């Protein structure tokens, strides 16, 4: 496929439009009803790009390069390295947002992902530090091996895994909240055999509305549930 270069006028017209829409959306989101205040903020946010007080900063362009492929598909790694049930779960994730986290069985992981999986699959405990760029799949480096071990344990138990097996520590609640959809997507296919919880100061004491909790049935929603029936994922 031929990649035609973008016209030279593309960014010159796109950036002012982005700045204008961002300013309008912000004023609308703030919800001020005073017309004079809304007008003042609109004028302040309408400073041209690159000028002092500009609401949207000038863009930064960074060149990126493709990550090296491992040369093997997920399916080819099963069952020696990855559980067949895990490969199925990654290929057919659960939930309405599951498609965003699909890892097709015929896709090839990156080389650094496969190296991390092989190290963490060893019988002896291993420590791994992954340093790679944005979008290179660092989360998969540690989450896939943990899921694999839990999938194998659930198969041996022929039922749900109970008790803490993996503890994820994040410095900000927002970071672990962003992983909620991924955890639901990848644990959902195990139909309750692998559960998780988000345990912090915002974890409720009592169950919330069923129309909310039913969307993530593999999540332990309350403090009591987490403490009395601890899931393997924390």
Other C-beta atoms closer than 10 Å to the C-beta of 196 total 23
Convert the pLDDT of each residue in 95-109 to its tens digit. 878 888 999 999 999
Contact 93, 186 (CB under 8 A): yes
pLDDT computed for residue 124 by the predictor: 93
Least confident of 39-43, 60-64, 102-106, 185-189: 60-64
- 210 against 200, higher pLDDT: 200
User: Domain spans of the chain?
Assistant: 9-60, 75-228
The CA distance from 88 to 68, in Å, is 24
Q: What is the pLDDT of residues 49-94, one digit of tens each?
A: 777 777 777 667 666 778 899 999 999 999 999 999 999 999 999 9
Q: What distance separates the 2 farthest-apart alpha carbons in the chain?
A: 68
What whole-number distance in Å separates Cα of residue 64 and Cα of residue 62? Answer: 6
Q: Do 191 and 88 meet the contact criterion of CB atoms below 8 Å apart?
A: no
What is the band of 2 on the pLDDT scale with cuts at 50, 70, 90?
very low
Provide the pLDDT for residue 190.
93
Distance CA 222, CA 204 (A): 5
Judge whether 166 and 199 are in contact, CB under 8 Å. Answer: no
- Asked, as a colleague might, if the bond just before 79 is cis with ω within 30 of 0, I would say yes
What is the percent of the chain where pLDDT is above 70?
Answer: 88
Contact criterion met (CB below 8 Å) for 166 and 197: no
User: Does the model's pTM come out above 0.95?
Assistant: no
SS (H, E, C) 175-233: HHHCCHHHHHHHHHHHCCCCCECCCCCCCCCCCCCHHHHCCCCCECCCHHHHHHCCCCE
């Amino acid at each position: 496929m031929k990649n035609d270069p973008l016209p030279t006028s593309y960014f010159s017209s796109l950036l002012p439009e982005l700045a204008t829409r961002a300013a309008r959306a912000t004023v609308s989101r703030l919800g001020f009803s005073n017309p004079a205040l809304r007008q003042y903020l609109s004028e302040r946010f309408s400073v041209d790009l690159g000028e002092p007080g500009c609401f949207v900063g000038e863009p930064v362009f960074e060149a990126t390069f493709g990550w090296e492929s491992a040369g093997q598909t997920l399916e080819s790694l099963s069952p020696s390295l990855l559980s067949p049930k895990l490969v199925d779960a990654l290929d057919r994730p659960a939930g309405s947002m599951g498609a965003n986290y699909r890892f097709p069985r015929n896709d090839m992981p990156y080389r650094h992902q496969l190296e991390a999986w092989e190290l963490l699959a060893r019988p002896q405990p291993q420590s791994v530090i992954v340093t790679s760029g944005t979008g290179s799949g660092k989360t998969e480096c540690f989450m896939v091996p943990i899921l694999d071990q839990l999938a194998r344990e659930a198969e041996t138990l022929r039922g749900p895994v109970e008790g803490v097996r993996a503890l994820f520590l994040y410095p900000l609640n927002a970071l672990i909240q962003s992983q909620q959809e991924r955890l639901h997507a990848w644990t959902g296919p195990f139909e309750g055999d692998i559960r998780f919880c988000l345990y912090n100061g915002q974890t409720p004491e009592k169950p919330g509305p069923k129309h909310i909790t039913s969307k993530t049935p593999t999540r332990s929603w309350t403090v009591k549930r987490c403490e009395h029936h601890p899931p393997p994922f924390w």
